[in-house]
Amino acid sequence: MMQTRRALLRQTAKLSAGLALDPRLLFGLTAGEPLALTVGSQLPAKLPANFTGLGYEMSSVAPLGLLSPSNQRYVNLVRGLGKEGVIRVGGIVANYTRYQPHGTLRATPKDTVITNASLEQFGRFLDTIGWQAIWSLNFAQGTIDEAVAEARSVAAVLGNRLFCLELGNEVEAYRNSFRQPDYSYETYREEFNRWRDAMVKAVPGAAFAAPDTAANVEWVERMASDAHGDVQLLTTHYYFTGQNHGTADNLLHPDPRLMNILVRLRAASTASHIPWRMCETNSFSGGGLRGVSDTFLGALWTLDYMLLLAASGCSGVNIETGVNQLGFVSHYSPIQDDGHGNNSAGIPYYGMLAFGEAARGCTEIVALQLPSQPGSSPDNLTGYALGHAGHFSAIAIINRGDGDARVSLAHLGFHRRLHALRLLAPSLSSKTNVTLAGASVDENGTWKPTHIEPVESSSILVPKTSAVVLLRS
C-alpha cells in the first residue's frame, strides 16, 4: 500500500497478462449501446488526504493490547486504508467514561475508565499508523474540571496527532437522558461555550468539533452560522435506520433522507467556511443487520457511500467498527475481532479498501451522471471521477443492480491507457471469497493486488453486483 500507483501497476502487469479472464469480465460484450458516463454541472468537491476514518467506542481505547503498536495485524489493517486518516474515539460509551490517570482500566458499555496507560498506548498507535484522532469528552455526565484535566492529558500525550476535541456524543438526545426534557440548542450552546472557554485556557490552540448530533441537521446549521471561530469542524452522525427495521433493499438504492442531509450540510459548510465530517456512521445503528451489513452488499454500499459523501463536499467520514455500545462486535465492522485478540478484515473493509485505491493521490472528486431516459440508468448504478486540478486519474463505478451494465468512458477525457481493479464476490450475500483486484486481505492484515486488467476499449462491462476502480497507467 505504500508503493506508488504506477509502481503497483507495473508490478502486476506481467501476472495479470497471463491470467485467463472470466467471461463476465470481458469489455464491451453486452448487447445494446453502452451507458455514457458524463460530468454534470456540479463542481468537483475537495478530497482531503485524511478523508478516510474509523470510529470507535471509548471502550476500545481503554484496554491494553487492541489499539496498540504491538498489534501488528491491526496496524496493517488500518495502514491499508490510507497513509493518512482520522480515528474518532467516542460513541455512546463516551457518556459513561471517566479519565483516571492512575486508575484501574475498565472497558464496559456503561463503565469505562481511561488511564494514562490507555492514552500512551493510543498515542504510540497513532504514531505507528500515521493517523490523527478526534477525542470525545464526557459532556453528558462529567464536569468542566474533569474535562479540562482529561483534555490537558490527551493533548500532551497525542501532540500533533490530536485532530480536535469533541464535547459530548449525540447531544440533541440528552433531553431524554442527561438533561431536562426541554433541553434546547440555546441551552446546549451556553454549556458548550463554558466548557470550551475553560479548555482553551488549559490547552491553548486546541481545535473543536461540534455539535456531534445523532441526526439533527438544524443544530449543525445553527452551529455553523454562530460558530464565530470557536468551532473548527462541524460533525454529525448517520445510519439508514435501526437494525430491527433495516432490510437489504435499504442498501441497494439511494436514501432520499441522506440526499437531503448532504445538500443542507454542504450549504452550511460552504456558507460558514467550516468543514464538516460524518464522524460516526455505518449502515444500521445497533451494530448493523446480520446477513446484510456483513455481506458483499455491505462492501458495495460502503464504497458507494464514501464516494457519495466525498462528492457531496464532506471533509471526512468515520466508519464505525469494533465493539459497539451494546458490548458486541458490530456486524458492519470493517475490522473484525474473534474475541481472542485476533483481528481480520470484515467484508465492509473491502469497500473502504477500494475507496483508498481510487482516492490515492487525488485531491478532488465529482459524481458522474448517466443518461436520464426512463429505464436507462438504474439508481443502483453509480459512478465517480477522482483526480487533481481538473484532471481525472481514477473512476469508480458501482453496480448494485441485478443486471450487467456496459458503460462508455468516451465523454470523460480518458485518452491514455487504463487499468481496472475489480471488486468481486460470488453474490451480494457472500461473506467469503471477496476480492479486490483478484486478492483478498491475508492473515497478516495486508492486501496486494494480483489481477489488474488492461482496458483496451472506450467502454467497460460492470457485471451485476460488482464494482470497478479504473486507474490511469
Model confidence, pTM: 0.93
Whether residues 398 and 271 share a domain: the answer is no
Report the side by side order of strands in the sheet with 97-99: 97-99, 111-114, 106-108
What one-letter code names the amino acid at 10?
Answer: R
For residues 37 and 84, state if they share a domain. no
Q: Specify the pLDDT at position 28.
A: 37
Domain boundary among 313, 328, 359: 359
Decide which of 359, 379, 401 is a domain's last residue: 359
Average pLDDT estimate for 82-93: 98
The DSSP secondary structure of 146-161, one letter per residue, reads HHHHHHHHHHHHHGGG
Cell (9 digits) for 5: 500507483
Residue where a domain terminates, one of 328, 359, 390: 359
The domain total for the chain is: 2
Q: Does residue 338 sit in the same domain as residue 411? A: no
The amino acid sitting at 385 is A
At 322-340, the pLDDT tens digits run 999 999 999 999 999 987 8
Element (H, E) at 317: strand 317-320
Burial class of 402 by CB neighbour count within 10 A (0 to 12, 13 to 18, 19+): exposed
Please say whether the beta carbons of 88 and 131 come within 8 A.
no
Cα atoms in the 13 Å half-sphere on the side-chain side of 396: 31
Residue range 138-151, pLDDT digits in tens? 999 999 999 999 99
Beta strands 343-345 and 35-36: pairing type?
A: unpaired
Distances (CA, A) of 438 to 16, 216, 334, 454: 9, 41, 19, 14
Within 8 A by CB and 6+ apart from 383, the residues are 37, 367, 368, 370, 395, 396, 397, 398, 407
Is the per-residue pLDDT at 29 higher than 50? no
CATH of the domain at 24: 2.60.40.1180
Share of the chain above pLDDT 90, in %: 84
The H or E element spanning position 88 is strand 86-90
Nearest to 381 by CA among 302, 263, 462: 462
Task: Say whether pLDDT at 14 is over 50.
Answer: no
Residue 440 structural domain? 5-44+363-472
The CA distance from 216 to 136, in Å, is 18
Q: How far is CA 331 from the centre of its chain?
A: 16
